[in-house]
Amino acid sequence: MPIDPTATSLLTIDLGALVANYRTLRDHAGSSECACVVKADAYGTGAKAAVRALLQAGCESYFVATFGEAEIIRTAARDATIYVLDGFFAGSGPAFAEQAIRPVLSSLAEVKDWAAFCREYGSALPAAIHADTGMNRLGLPRREVEQLAGEPDLLASFKLALFMSHLACADEADHPLNETQLTAFEALRAMLPECPASLANSAGIFLGARYHFDLVRAGFALYGGKAIAGREPLNAVVRLDARIVQIHDARSGESVGYGAQQILQRPTRIATISLGYADGILRSLGAREGKNGLTGYIEGHEAPALGRVSMDLITLDVTDVPEGIARRGAWVEIIGEHVSVDDLAQQAGTIGYEVLTSLSRRAQRVTLGPEDK
């Protein structure tokens, strides 16, 4: 895809890397099915294109957060199994049935609503049940699973297609809650009719076969994020570059940016790039006296941030970058070969998930197909 001469930032999505990561995670899952989590527009990478590439790689099951996301996935994957994680509400049954989308039922009230709809619809449609095993976020607590187990007519009203839970601390392999949740999950699973089971998220895949059950859910690691402490991430899927808008010189003692929070200690050549917090580059990545900010790279040369990150602009110190390289219109790497999503997140005091899902919708997107890998 040619670069638009008016583009001020460029977000490159490498579907070849995405597919390679899927195959690696699938291999780690062994005999378990490897489903893909494609919520939040496939973690900001573009859900339709991502799903089409994953379909070609053999992925048959997908998880999203909302029904609206599921509708988008359905247009790209007509026959795939699609689960909606975040809520089933009374009155929404016809929409799920019409597009063969499966709700994940996280409370006894949701189970009763889905069962009532299936009876009215005249068909035992599939759904998943999500049990809480210690995260205290979503899922049926133990008492509700016990109550459900005692109501066989309720369970008979629909097809229990999947029993699942979510690990809270899988990114720390030695965290004791992992084993606690595994034990709780096995106990709750045994209360209900036999069906496929799923516990492992991306990090959980690396905890070993005991956590895999019938299906694993590949999420952040699929997109090149570091899913578990001490383990190198898989292939990077995204790259973000921004264009230099202006180059100018400033004198020692002058300030840079809003709030005058950084005073120049030497004559400085400044490059202003067209990227900011409206593009997902968090304000915490700015620089001030006593604190370094993000570092951009221009053809491998470091260009540290100066002053605050603005809504649409960031200023960089290019004093030590050759003038022929640091010039108006040149591209600056913000995420790429030198800085990973997780590197940027650590510097910002957050996690790679937030950085990845916040990246600019204003950037020109260049999607590299699996055949380009």
- The pair of three-digit structure tokens given for residue 157, joined into one six-digit string: 């009203």
Sorted by sequence, the CB contacts under 8 Å of residue 157 that are 6+ apart come out as: 114, 115, 116, 118, 119, 124
Give the number of residues written for the chain. Answer: 373
Rounded distance between C-alpha atoms, residue 255 and residue 257, angstroms: 7
Rounded distance between C-alpha atoms, residue 125 and residue 108, angstroms: 17
Active site residues: 39, 258
- The pair of three-digit structure tokens given for residue 290, joined into one six-digit string: 């006593």
Rounded distance between C-alpha atoms, residue 201 and residue 205, angstroms: 6
* 127, 158 Cβ separation under 8 angstroms: yes
Rounded distance between C-alpha atoms, residue 115 and residue 118, angstroms: 5
Query: Which string of DSSP letters, residue by residue, matches 226-245?
Result: --STTS------EEEEEEEE
Residue 247 gets the label, from left (phi > 0), alpha (psi -120 to 50) or beta, of beta
3-state class of 12 per DSSP?
strand
Strand partners, 37: 63
Q: Are strands 126-130 and 255-256 parallel, antiparallel or unpaired?
A: unpaired
Q: Which residue has the tokens 């260049």?
A: 366
